[in-house]
Amino acid sequence: MLLRAEDAKDWFYKGEGAANIVLGYCGSSLSLVGKVLRIQKVAKGRSRSPNGCFVLSNHERLVWRDIGELLECTSKDAAARAFIQHVMSNPLDSKHVDAGILVHVSKEFLEAVEGNIKSQRPPWRVDASKIDVLHESALIISDHSIISGTPKHDLCIAVEIKPKCGFLPSSEYIVEANAVKKHVTRFKMHQFLKLHEGKISQISRYDPLDLFSGLKDRIHLAITALFACPQNNFRIFFNGSLIFGGLGGGLDNTVVQSHKAEEAIVDLISPSGLQLASFLELVAEAIFGSGILDKLLETQQLDVLDIEGAIHVYYNIISQPCAICKNLIDAELLHQYSFLHSLSLEESLKIVRGYLIAATAKDCSLMISFSCTEAGHNASDCNSASLKSSNQCYNYKACFIDLDLKTLEKMVHYYKLDQKIVDFYKTSGEIEGNPSILEVEAHLEKKN
């Protein structure tokens, strides 16, 4: 399939992340109804990778040498697809992942889309990146914000949750000075840094450990906290359109203002027979009943050594002197890390592969779409969840999105960011409760 300039009018802006723009379909082609198109972006001022070259670097080719299809990829979409199909679908269960289909896109199609959607993109995203119009392919994926093919599919409500890391690391390679990592979630610590950097305006009370707890009440607590402060972790769609939550990016500008949010959402979703509180309960019920986050947690836990251990192993793979050990004078620590440096290449590759798969699992999102069922009418490919309060049953479908491969070169960034997050938390994190930026800044000033 080739998408040409004249097809651009059938695609509307749906959302975007740091790397991709996602468009919904409003045309009449039966093969495209219910699909989205995921298009690569390129950072402004950055040179794009030329078509036809391998996506993976030589060291990455070593890490992923067993995944033949991935090695051959010459575009990021093809690599995204191969990675989902051959790597992520095993631990996450293929029924919850959707690798998509590659389509050809003409330069004229991409230019026309760029012009059509510009006014709807968040301005900071427009400043940072644009559609890579020289990229010759894109991915067609099912639109997970709707359930197509059910009798009442026109009344569909969906949530998108970016759960982030759902466990506390316990690696022996975490240095004593960073022991706080074993007690406080990375999400919470990162909130303080994000607040300081102006990426968010308040600290979220969402606790990933609640969401991943496997306990219905704690899952419900997590969903309520996400709704109260959605940032880029929570969105609600009604009939495929975003009605609550930000358009992506670190800034937490909600589409619906928080004080109006409840009324607006209640109005919008009432035709589906749901009140807001019961909707949040339904989301918790579906997460609890499906057990879908158990698989995600297991996949995240493929990060066994934490970045404080994995970074040493990374240097084994790139065959360079370890930049961490180089600056260490503590003999005991050096001895501990020398064990990691003595691992065989095979063992090192396994550890880093696990770390990168876990990194993808810590950054992906879960989409759950619900539609009201008529008595006895359950779509075969859906699960169902019922609400005690209303005795109403809902079909739902859950799928992971954004399962892109993280680059091996990011390991150094991961190490630096981890240290930055912990260091910042140690100086500001003792403030109890839900501090504002002013309180955190005042606290830091007092400490300095």
Contacts of residue 217, defined as CB under 8 A and 6 or more positions apart, other chains included, come to none
SS3 at position 150: coil
* Interaction between residue 117 and ligand ATP (CB under 6 A): no
Residue 236 sits at φ, ψ, to 5 deg, of: -120, 135
* Interaction between residue 169 and ligand 5MY (CB under 6 A): no
Tell me which of 410, 420, 434, 436 binds ligand 5MY, using CB under 6 A: 410
Nearest approach, Cβ of 341 to Zn ion (angstroms)? 6
Angle at 123 (CA atoms; ends 120, 124), nearest 5 degrees: 135
Question: Hey, which bits of 239-292 come out as E strands?
Answer: 241-244
SS3 at position 297: helix
Amino acid at 161: I
Tell me which of 88, 290, 406, 424 binds ligand 5MY, using CB under 6 A: 406
Tell me which of 337, 394, 396, 400 binds Zn ion, using CB under 5 A: 337
Nearest approach, Cβ of 380 to Zn ion (angstroms)? 52
* Interaction between residue 122 and ligand 5MY (CB under 6 A): no
Catalogue the long-range contacts made by 24-28 (C-beta closer than 8 Å, 24 or more residues apart).
Answer: 24/143, 24/240, 25/143
Amino acid at 365: S
Nearer to ligand 5MY (CB atom), residue 317 or residue 372:
317
Catalogue the long-range contacts made by 321-325 (C-beta closer than 8 Å, 24 or more residues apart).
Answer: 323/412, 324/415
* Interaction between residue 230 and ligand ATP (CB under 6 A): no
Tell me which of 117, 156, 311, 359 binds ligand 5MY, using CB under 6 A: 359
Nearer to ligand 5MY (CB atom), residue 34 or residue 250:
250
Nearer to ligand ATP (CB atom), residue 234 or residue 415:
234
Euclidean distance between CA atoms 234 and 228, whole angstroms: 10
Nearest approach, Cβ of 431 to Zn ion (angstroms)? 34
**Residue listed under structure tokens 């906290």:** 225
Tell me which of 19, 209, 255, 325 binds Zn ion, using CB under 5 A: 325
Residues at the contact surface with ligand 5MY, assessed by CB under 6 A: 17-19, 190, 232, 248-250, 359, 363, 406, 410, 417
Residues at the contact surface with ligand ATP, assessed by CB under 6 A: 14-20, 22, 36, 38, 141-145, 160, 235, 248, 363, 365, 401-402, 404
